[in-house]
Amino acid sequence: MDNIKISALGGLDENGRDCYVIEINNDLFVVEAGSSLPDKTIPGVDFLLPNAEYIIQNRNRLKAYIITHGHDESMSGLKYFYNRAPAPVYCTETTRKCMLGQANILKVKTNFDFHIVEPSSSVTIANHVIHFFQTCHSVAQSMGVAFETNRGNIVYTSDFIVDYSLNESGYIFDIPTLGKISEKPTLILLSPSKGADRSGYCAPKHRIVYLIEKYFKDTQQRIFISSFWQNLFRIRGILILCKKYHKKVYFYDEYTAKVMNFLSNNDDLMVGLEVVNKEDLLRVKEQDLVILILGHGSEIYENIGKLAARSNEDKRIVIGPKDIFISAALPTATQEVVATRSLDSLYRTGCEVVWLNHKVLFPMHAHLDDLKVFLSLLKPKFYLPVRGSFVNLMSNAKLALSMGIGLNHSNVFILDNGMQLIFDEGTRPHMVSNETNNINISPVLVDGTGISKVGSDVIEERRELGFDGAVVVAATISIKEKKIIAGPDCQMRGFVFVKEAEPLLKSISNIFVEEVNNALTTSPKFETSKVENVIRERAKRFIRRENGREPMILPIIIEV
């Protein structure tokens, strides 16, 4: 019997950063390699990545990466560690274009070894038969994957919803192919949990057309509309309405133009669409114009805020009472504060605001009835909820227990990142804790375009700056003369009110002078770093005693 190990380097008890490792005998497959967005407790960080240490250590056994769809949570982490653990990347053509398009926007060089597959097809990798089946999600050509083993299939659905009414080729839920896969026993099913707290089906409330068509049909106002760039299904709906009601489209900024240029090579989205160039923007009648704003993460809300405050780059675009703004970029939990602030700014402009929140427009994630389709069709021996916070994983597990298909508390598993579910000699799997297998799962923190990685010490310093501010004290010394020849100069930012700072400034300067002079006169060798550390600790204790705060202390000694 095949020996199988299943583990997650990210994606369990969190939203995003999905990365699942499937090991069959001595061969290792990585399914997804995504990223997630930080919350406010991680200042100055752009992305969180799965820790690829386990993949890199086992790269001699790595046979392939399988990326199921073109969303950040599934694809955007791979480019940061691929060179250290290269392997063929199996994905659809749309996913390939999304990966390259995002890398181009972020100006990150890539050298992926792409192997393009149809969203419903079968391949053999390292003598393992692997089936792909198309699913319906908010980006075209999404797919699930099934690994054949002599114990049964390992099926990973990826993100999906059940919608039988869509005719667009990139969004068809391929039930016939899934039916063929179900003809063989399913050993274990891995299903997403992000929407497992919602009853019923996601459809039809994932469709934007029916919610906003009246504004395109009846209004005489200029329309602004925002969306995340990776929600191709939503963008498609917007452009369909523009073509249906003969609206002319203007791309709000360079970012939007880059994305739409990428999409124009992706499918027929741009066919028949009248795009307005910069020179003609002011010549178009306002009632005929739609201004499209695309973005990524919280940046889209920051751009909306700038538009409302009239601090946007293109001063010809001014939003006011004669306009309507449709917000179709649904915020995640980490984006709600900045999203609400941007909408509040829009209301202040006097424009009509249409806020499509999660109550009226659903993200395209499987709800309970969607999940039941896979469970009832495949009837897996074992079940593993993935992709979501712990409360969502639990909702998904409870659903499985209620299905009456033989799943119970002994064959439904909820894992943490780093834990391994192992099928070996026995007929039943066993779990190995991360304390035992010692897989490094601490997220990799990245700022900028990911060229530099951020350590926990940097994050802690940023937190200190955010809460208690900083104190900088600097001076120039002469080693030859053994004295301070300039300074000290002491500055404070974000620490205390200016009028209260003078006594503290004087005391901290005195500490600085005392320690520097002591080191210059008593030590045979002046060690700058050691003296700076002593100053830092003394100043920190003094400030804590005086007012209970703990700002970042930055002593700077310049030698001449």
Question: Can you give the pLDDT at residue 96?
Answer: 92
To the nearest whole number, what is the mean pLDDT of the chain? 87
Q: Which of 83, 46, 17, 15 is nearest to 452 (CA)?
A: 46
pLDDT-derived band of residue 42, with 50, 70 and 90 as boundaries? low
Question: Can you give the pLDDT at residue 64?
Answer: 97
| Euclidean distance between CA atoms 55 and 82, whole angstroms | 10
Find the mean pLDDT for residues 25-49.
82
pLDDT at 22 over 70: yes
| Euclidean distance between CA atoms 61 and 546, whole angstroms | 59
Count of CB atoms within 10 A of residue 286's CB? 11
User: Do β-strands 420-423 and 4-10 pair in parallel, antiparallel, or remain unpaired?
Assistant: antiparallel
pLDDT at 543 over 90: no
Question: Can you give the pLDDT at residue 260?
Answer: 85
Count of CB atoms within 10 A of residue 127's CB? 9
Q: How far is CA 63 from CA 95, 176, 421, in A?
A: 19, 28, 20
Question: Can you give the pLDDT at residue 28?
Answer: 97
Token pair of 376 as six digits: 């009832």
**Burial 341-351, CB ≥16 within 10 A → b, else e:** ebbebbeebeb
Q: Distance from first CA to last CA of the chain, Å, rounded? A: 72
Question: E strands, 232-317, where?
Answer: 248-251, 274-275, 289-295
Q: How far is CA 474 from CA 432, 452, 479, 510, 530, in A?
A: 53, 28, 16, 12, 15
Q: Mention every residue, 6+ apart, whose C-beta is less than 8 A from residue 536.
A: 553, 554, 555
Find the mean pLDDT for residues 526-555.
79
The mean-pLDDT minimum among 54-58, 189-193, 274-278, 526-530 falls in 526-530
Question: Can you give the pLDDT at residue 501?
Answer: 65
Question: Can you give the pLDDT at residue 470?
Answer: 73
Question: Can you give the pLDDT at residue 170?
Answer: 87
pLDDT at 44 over 70: no
* In contact, 92 and 68? CB cutoff 8 Å: no
pLDDT at 192 over 50: yes
The mean-pLDDT minimum among 21-30, 77-86, 156-165, 516-525 falls in 516-525
Q: For each of the domains in the chain, give its residue range(s) and CATH number, in order of start.
A: 4-201+363-454 (3.60.15.10), 209-355 (3.40.50.10710), 456-559 (3.10.20.580)
pLDDT-derived band of residue 12, with 50, 70 and 90 as boundaries? very high
The mean-pLDDT minimum among 1-5, 59-63, 317-321, 438-442 falls in 438-442
More confident residue, 527 or 399: 399
pLDDT at 108 over 90: no
pLDDT at 496 over 60: no
Q: Which of 80, 69, 5 is nearest to 443 (CA)?
A: 80
Q: Which of 29, 26, 36 is nearest to 7 (CA)?
A: 29
The mean-pLDDT minimum among 302-316, 405-419, 446-460 falls in 446-460
Question: Can you give the pLDDT at residue 352?
Answer: 94
List strands edge to edge, sheet with 452-454: 47-49, 444-447, 452-454
Q: What is the pLDDT of residues 445-486, one digit of tens each?
A: 776 554 445 455 544 554 454 455 677 888 888 877 778 888
Question: Can you give the pLDDT at residue 450?
Answer: 47
- The pTM for the full model equals 0.79
Question: Can you give the pLDDT at residue 373?
Answer: 95
Find the mean pLDDT for residues 146-152.
96
